Amino acid sequence: MTTRRQILLGAAALGLMPAARAAQAMIDYTPGLVQARLAAGETVFVDFSATWCSTCRTQGRANEALRAANPAYDAAMTFVKVDWDTYGTGELSRSLNIPRRSTLVVLRGDRELGRVVAQTREADIRALMDLGLGLG
């Protein structure tokens, strides 16, 4: 380890430098989870994705980066990942008319605030997250 790295790590450990805040893990979807969170008054960001989908992976990286950069997203929303292979034809997907994997949706109460379908631009995903904050 270099001396510079040792100094930076020591400073971070002492609280002299802000440490990067990691985004909270997304909650894996189970039937009824989204409805229960909405009924509890939460805003829910739903990520319909598949492990084999390259678009989904790109969206996931943007999602994580945005959440790490702005803790307000995690404070304002519950993030739920829906496995497309398991629940793509399930009740939640049908009720929201989800056309495909790589669909991101923000919900509050009984309303859909917005969605992004197959878009990977960080600016598009940020705009969707900002809807959850009430900024859009």
Q: What does the radius of gyration of the chain's CA atoms come to, in whole angstroms?
A: 17
Average pLDDT (85-96) is 96
Average pLDDT (111-135) is 96
- pLDDT class of 126 with cuts at 50, 70, 90: very high
Average pLDDT (20-33) is 80
pLDDT confidence of residue 127: 97
17 pLDDT more than 80:
no
Domain boundaries, the chain: 22-133
Asked if 91 contacts 98 with a C-beta cutoff of 8 angstroms, the reply is no
Query: What is 22-133's CATH topology?
Result: Glutaredoxin (3.40.30)
**Of 127, 136, 118, the residue nearest 50 (C-alpha):** 118
- Distant-in-sequence, close-in-space partners of 130: CB < 8 Å, separation ≥ 6: 136
* DSSP classification of residue 120: -
